Amino acid sequence: MKPHRRKKLGIILFIAAGLSVAVGFTAFALKQNINMFYTPTQVAEGEVGAGQHFRIGGMVKTGTVLGATDSLKVNFVTTDFVSDVPIQYEGILPDLFREGQGIVAEGEMDAAGVFQASRVLAKHDENFMSPEVKAALDAAGASADNHMPGGTN
Amino acid sequence: MIPEVGAFSLILALCLSMMLATLPIIGAYQNNFLWMSMARPLSAGVFVFLAISIAILAYAFVTDDFSVQFVAQHSNTLLPDRYKLTAVWGGHEGSFLLWTFMLAGWMLAVAIFSKSMPLEFVARVLGVLGFLITGYILFMLATSNPFDRIVPLPPIDGADLNSALQDFGFIIHPPTLYMGYVGFSVVFAFAMAALLSGKMDAAWARWCRPWANIAWAILTLGIALGSWWAYYELGWGGWWAWDPVENPPLITWLFGTALIHSLAATEKRGVFKAWTVLLAILAFAGSLLGTFITRSGLLTSVHAFASDPDRGFFILAILGITVGGALLLFAFRAPLMKSEFGFDLVSREILLLSNNVILVVAAASVFLGTLFPMVYQAITDDLISIGPPYFNAIFIPLMALLALLLSIGPYTRWKRTSTTYLMQQLGKVALAALTLGVLLPLLVTRQISLPATMAVAIGSWIMLAMLQDLVNKTANKATRLKGLRALSFSYYGMQMAHMGMAVMLIGVALTSSFSSERSVLLSPGQDVGLSNYVFQFEGTASVNGPNYVGEQATFIVLQEGEEIAILHPERRIYLATNTPSTEMAIDAGFLRDLFITLGEQKEGDSWSMTIYVKPFVRWIWLGAIFMTFGGILAAADKRYRRLRRKQTELNRESGKSNSIGGELQASS
């Protein structure tokens, strides 16, 4: 093999080795950090494994938001109009968190069957429903329009 | 009537850009001087008509013309004038018009500052840009015309601009980001022009470098502005969330950073020619990917515009045609690009190559994490999301490695560098950096943290190496000052950008390690301690703005019993939409930020709130500002101007003989 070819081969091998290590690490990290998304109905039917960290999405059920008076704890119920899941969150809710609005929460179920949220997301565009919430409502065979007072948003 | 003029002007811009996309490129093939020389006036025409369009849209906003649907959806009579004007980019249609207008601006700049390049090349560059603009205007007219009317009954008042956008950050972040983004279209056009001509020498790299540097500098600034805005506006105390819409600019930035380094190698040594072209295509693809993700509504994110599948398909089609076509052309031309391989394993070429490999791997892993949920959903129908831990796990080690190699780069020579020379130069620097890394965080914060130690060590490694390089480079001159003056702008640009990287790295690591936050419920008169500060809640008073009502709280911050700041966080309700919004209060400092977010009023006078102490957070954006200046300095190097002057004279002479030929051709 000519020297410059050998050098070229060396560089290509160097890049290939670097890339495969990177791909390996990436695949591993990806596998460790996937959050599944479930609808309230899926949660009610017990599809979620114990201790699993996941995301849940649905509408905030009207009349269910209860804030503690002496701490930052908030309880509310999320629904896809078929099943309900109670959620507890400690902290300040996003600006657009409101009853009757779609939200996505991240966290896990506790022993009592309450979803302990570590993060609550609400959209900042009112005309826009997050794809996850929409999918949850579609999956449950319900549409927000039929259920929300005041018709479409 | 006036909005129709805007739409009409858009159609005229379309006609001109269609001519621009075809005539000059055909002219370049047939060596038709007349057709090639139409590129510049046509570019100017496209720019003028797009400028008229966007000015008319702004006029519709300022005059509250709610018969225009886009205005009705994004403005309100109560909206302050500065936001009325900038609400032009407050939604999908207008922001896309801004995007296209920016591209036309870049195109005009190329038309003006390209006297030094052969006309044939300029015709191709402007032709490719005209092709892109044609696609963008078609997209606007077909799916998202900002001048659509509401007939027959326009609303009396508009729906108002999203309250989160009514802020100074909104005035500057989108235009800056877009300007950086579309700047890479220019670089792409240069690469395409080179591929089209089939002349794959290093000339295109030389012409392209200043443009790539400026686009990169502006993109850096745009991303940093977005991060800074999110930090003080969204009120969650963070500055980067790995949000699916933050990621494409970052991907573009990573490719762009790789590109400006690889361009250096291509220009100076004629190596990595094909690779550089590929990077130009990838950086451009990254910018289109950003558009696609934001505007298709496929991913959940704070940035998502109202979703519309048609728009997604259209942008995907533009992406497919331009990037697919470019890659196809690349595949045909790649064999023409013979690179020399005359360098050793320890050489500047290899270090630049390592820089490229690391940056491309980083970009690819961010790309994977961003798009994986979409692909996963398409295959399994399950919805998933990828959390920040994934990105952190990959990105942080890669950047640490990059930063380690970064200070060796300037010491290496092209072709070959002896290892002993490097050891002798950098051995002491490494030792000093390590000592500083251990001692500094310990002395300043009295805490030990491995990330902080590593970041300060790597940061000082970069800065000390830089100082020593300056000392070396000025050693042989009569005086140090003369030595400093003799160094080129591009050298200073490089060092400044590298220093920016060091500053940013330290900021990121120290903020992540030493930040503290606390969510509490306080009544007036109560206080709470955090870190070594005491936050005293004085009470609230109501405030009324032009289009909102709200409550303003007063806090006194004490450090060791002394008052150091008074903070006024607010909680507002915007009247038109009845949306609540929190306004953070920040006491910014070089070494730390104090930060309060007001939650809501609970029982009695008590309020929920979150308080943050964030050490060194400003360094993140300071680093980005250094990088921006570095990029601009490098582009301002005298070398380019000298070359330009020389070439311009040459072109003028050959232009004379050419123009005769052109006229002959035109008349025949």
The alpha carbon of B545 is separated from its chain's Cα centroid by a whole number of angstroms, namely: 33
Contact at CB, A4 and B386, closer than 8 angstroms: no
Asked if pLDDT for residue A149 goes beyond 80, the answer is: no
Residue A47 domain flag: yes
> 590-609 in B: which are within 8 Å (CB) of A?
597, 599-600, 602-603, 608-609
A53 and A27 inside one domain: no
Name which of B104-113, B272-281, B575-584, B616-625 the model is least confident about. Answer: B575-584
A51-55, B398-402, B549-553, B654-658 — which is least confidently predicted?
B654-658
pLDDT at A56 over 90: no
Please indicate whether, in this complex, the C-beta atoms of B306 and A91 are within 8 angstroms of each other: no
Which residues of chain B neighbour A22 with C-beta distances below 8 Å? Answer: 361, 364-365, 398
Q: Tell me the C-alpha distance between B192 and B330, whole Å.
A: 9
Q: Is there a single domain that holds both residue A80 and residue A56?
A: yes
Q: What is the CATH number of the domain that holds A46?
A: 2.40.50.140
> How much of chain A exceeds pLDDT 70, in percent?
77
Does residue A21 lie in a domain region? yes
Confirm whether A137 is domain-assigned: yes
Give the tokens for residue B337. 């690009």
The rounded mean pLDDT for chain B is 87
Note the pLDDT tens digit of each residue in B605-630: 888 888 999 999 999 999 999 999 99
Burial class (CB in 10 A: 0-12, 13-18, 19+), B534: middle
Buried b or exposed e, range B189-219, using 16+ CB within 10 angstroms: bbbbbbbbbeebebbbbbbbbbbbbbbbbbb
| Residue B567 confidence (pLDDT) above 90 | yes
Domain locations along chain B? 1-166, 183-334+344-410, 418-514+619-628, 516-616
Are A90 and A130 in the same domain? yes
Q: Among the listed ranges B76-85, B243-252, B443-452, which one has the minimum average pLDDT value?
A: B443-452
Residue B28 has pLDDT above 60, yes or no: yes
| Range of the structural domain that residue A140 is part of | 36-147
**Tokens coding B178:** 């877009």
- Both A30 and A41 in one domain: the answer is no
At residue A127 the predicted structure's pLDDT band, cuts being 50, 70 and 90, is: very low
Number of domains in chain A: 2
**Model confidence pLDDT, tens digit, residues B280-335:** 999 999 999 888 887 766 655 545 555 567 788 888 899 999 999 999 999 888 87
Residues A46, A5 share a domain: no
Q: What's the CA gap between A122 and B184, in Å, rounded?
A: 34
Higher pLDDT, A151 or B282: B282
Highest mean pLDDT among A21-30, A143-152, B288-297, B451-460: B451-460
Higher pLDDT, B145 or B345: B145
| pLDDT band of A73, cuts 50, 70, 90 | confident
The C-alpha atoms of residue B2 and residue B44 are separated, in whole angstroms, by 23
Looking at residues B227-238, what average pLDDT do you find?
Answer: 82
A chain contacts of residue B305, beta-carbon cutoff 8 Å: 125, 128
Nearest beta carbon to residue A70 from set B383, B389, B521: B521
φ, ψ (nearest 5 deg) of residue B616: 60, 15
| In a domain? residue A88 | yes
Q: What is the pTM of this model?
A: 0.89
A152 belongs to a structural domain: no
Residues A17 and A56 occupy one common structural domain: no
pLDDT at A97: 82
Chain A positions in Cβ-Cβ contact with residue B382 (cut-off 8 Å):
36-37
Same domain, A91 and A105: yes
Q: What is the mean pLDDT of residues B365-390?
A: 83
Residue B140 has pLDDT above 60, yes or no: yes
Domain membership flag for residue A14: yes
The nearest alpha carbon in chain B to A25 belongs to B394
Mean pLDDT value across residues A119-129 = 62
Question: Does one domain contain both A71 and A108?
Answer: yes
Top-confidence range, A25-39, A135-149, B299-313, B498-512: B498-512
Q: Which of B164, B306, B599 sits opposite A128 (nearest CB)?
A: B306
Give the model confidence (pLDDT) of B54-108 as tens digits.
Answer: 999 999 999 999 999 999 988 989 889 899 999 999 888 899 999 999 999 999 9
pLDDT digits (tens, 9 = 90+) for B473-528: 887 777 778 878 888 888 999 999 999 999 999 999 888 888 888 888 888 988 89
Q: What ipTM describes this predicted complex? A: 0.74
Q: Is the pLDDT of residue B193 over 90?
A: yes
Please, which pLDDT band fits residue A25 given cuts at 50, 70 and 90? confident
User: Average pLDDT for residues B628-655, to the nearest whole number?
Assistant: 78
Task: Answer whether B593's CB lies under 8 Å from B614's CB.
Answer: yes
Residue A141: inside a domain: yes
Say yes or no: B577 contacts chain A, CB-CB below 8 A.
Answer: yes
The average pLDDT across B415-439 equals 83
Task: Please list every residue in chain B whose beta carbon sits closer than 8 Å to the beta carbon of residue A130.
Answer: 300
Which residue of B345, B386, B519 is in closest CB contact with A72? B519
Strands A84-90 and A115-122, by their bridges, are: parallel
**Alpha carbons B192 and B280: distance in angstroms, whole number:** 9
- pLDDT attached to residue A140: 62
Question: What is the pLDDT confidence band of residue B642, given thresholds at 50, 70 and 90?
Answer: confident
Q: Nearest by CB to A135, from B162, B369, B383: name it.
A: B383
Residue A92 sits in the same domain as residue A107: yes
Q: Is residue A61 domain-shared with residue A109, that is, in the same domain?
A: yes
The nearest CA of chain A is from the CA of B306 a distance in Å of 5
**For testing the chain A interface, which of B384, B415, B518, B522 should be mutated: the one with the most A CBs within 10 Å?**
B384
Model confidence at B662, pLDDT cuts 50, 70, 90, reads: very low
How many other CB atoms sit within 10 Å of the CB of residue A8?
14
Write down the residue that tokens 């850009």 correspond to.
B17
User: Is there a domain that residue A153 lies in?
Assistant: no
A37-46: average pLDDT: 86
